[in-house]
Structure 1
Amino acid sequence: MVEVASASQTDIAWLVREDANLGQPWISRCVALGEYLVAREDGEMVGFLRFSRFWGRVPYMEMIRVLPGHRRSGVGTTLFLAWEAAMRGEGARLLMTSSECDESRPQDWHRRNGFIETGAIELPGLQSVPEVFFIKHIA
């Protein structure tokens, strides 16, 4: 059974390893602000969801990652549904996320979980392909 909870200070070392592009200072900041959910299976950390707020108000799922040995077993969906419920509980009416335009598997996952494509932007110098944005109405 997968258990989802807000990340705590004791989870930071694991998150630094698994969300390696950010670095410890930013991960610590996100944990302190409650912007990480972690998934455990039999007490073992198996995934995380990191989010922020677009324009300071719209919940934006920045990253969802499940360890390779636990993928396609419902961990990601469980993380996402816990986040969606938490955001709905805070009064959110809309969720956002994105992926690079050439990432078909993540886009398929977003669509399976109720997101619809809403547009794309190019970020020259930051990414080699456009970023596709998705929204989900939850009100």
Structure 2
Amino acid sequence: MSITIRFGSQLDSSDVFTGDQHVPEHILNWKLKNQEIILAKDDEDLIGYLRLEYLWSKYPYIGLIMVHPDYRGKGLGKRLLKYVEEHLKSKGLKTIYSSSQVNEADPQEWHRKMGFKECGIINGINEGKIGEVFFVKEL
């Protein structure tokens, strides 16, 4: 088992398009070209994924982080987060934002465990009028 964490490239587009169906392919292509998708691979298998966004084109935000169920609880999400944090620090950025639906206790617990602090809620923004809780972490 050889786990590698790295920025995605155009060569990864089929994995990315299959794994992240929340975003149109042309946007994912742009993100692949601009170092906004981080992949974790076990040899050739995609086992983790982080999609970076920028709120107001300025504030880095984790739009999506996923870890394959077989790899959860083994520190892979933490490694993906650390990778993106080091990249952002190298660009002089000081914070990263993320969020979770208000009814998702496990993701909220993960954020707090990773050092994120709650910083706000948008009520009723998701399907079914479920709110979204936002987190911030100092880099």
Give the alignment's TM-score, normalised by structure 1.
Answer: 0.91
Identity of aligned residues (%): 29
- In structure 2, the gaps of 5 or more residues are none
Q: CA deviation at 1:75?
A: 1.2
Query: Matched residues in 2 for 1:127 and 1:96: separation?
Result: 24
Which residue pairs with 1:61 in the alignment? 62
Q: Considering only aligned residues, what root-mean-square deviation do their CA atoms show, in Å?
A: 1.6
Q: Which residue of 1 aligns with 2:41?
A: 40
Equivalent residue, structure 1, for 2:79: 78
Alignment of 1:82-121 (within 5 A): 82-121=83-122
Once residues 38 and 119 of structure 1 are traced to their aligned partners in structure 2, the CA distance between those partners, rounded to angstroms, is: 28
Aligned to 2:129: 128
* Distance in structure 2 (CA, Å) of the matches to 1:53 and 1:5: 19
Once the two structures are TM-superposed, the CA of residue 67 in structure 1 deviates from its matched residue by: 1.2
Residue-pair matches, total = 138
Structure 2 counterpart of 1:28, which letter? N
Distance 2:97 2:78 in 1: 16
| Bigger shift: residues 121-130 or 27-36 | 121-130
Q: Report the equivalent of 1:52.
A: 53
Q: What letter corresponds to residue 93 of structure 2 in structure 1?
A: A
- Give, as a single letter, the amino acid of the residue that structure 2 aligns with 1:83: V
Structure 2: distance between partners of 1:96 and 1:129? 19
Look up the equivalent residue of 2:54 and give its one-letter code.
Answer: R
User: Structure 1: how far apart are the matches of 2:131 and 2:48?
Assistant: 26
Alignment partners' CA distance in 1, 2:104 and 2:125: 18
Instruction: State yes or no: 1:31 paired with 2:29.
Output: no
- Secondary structure of the structure 2 residue equivalent to 1:117: strand
TM-score for both structures, normalised by structure 2: 0.91
List alignment gaps of at least 5 residues for structure 1.
Answer: none
| Aligned residue runs from structure 1 range 11-22, under 5 A | 11-22=12-23
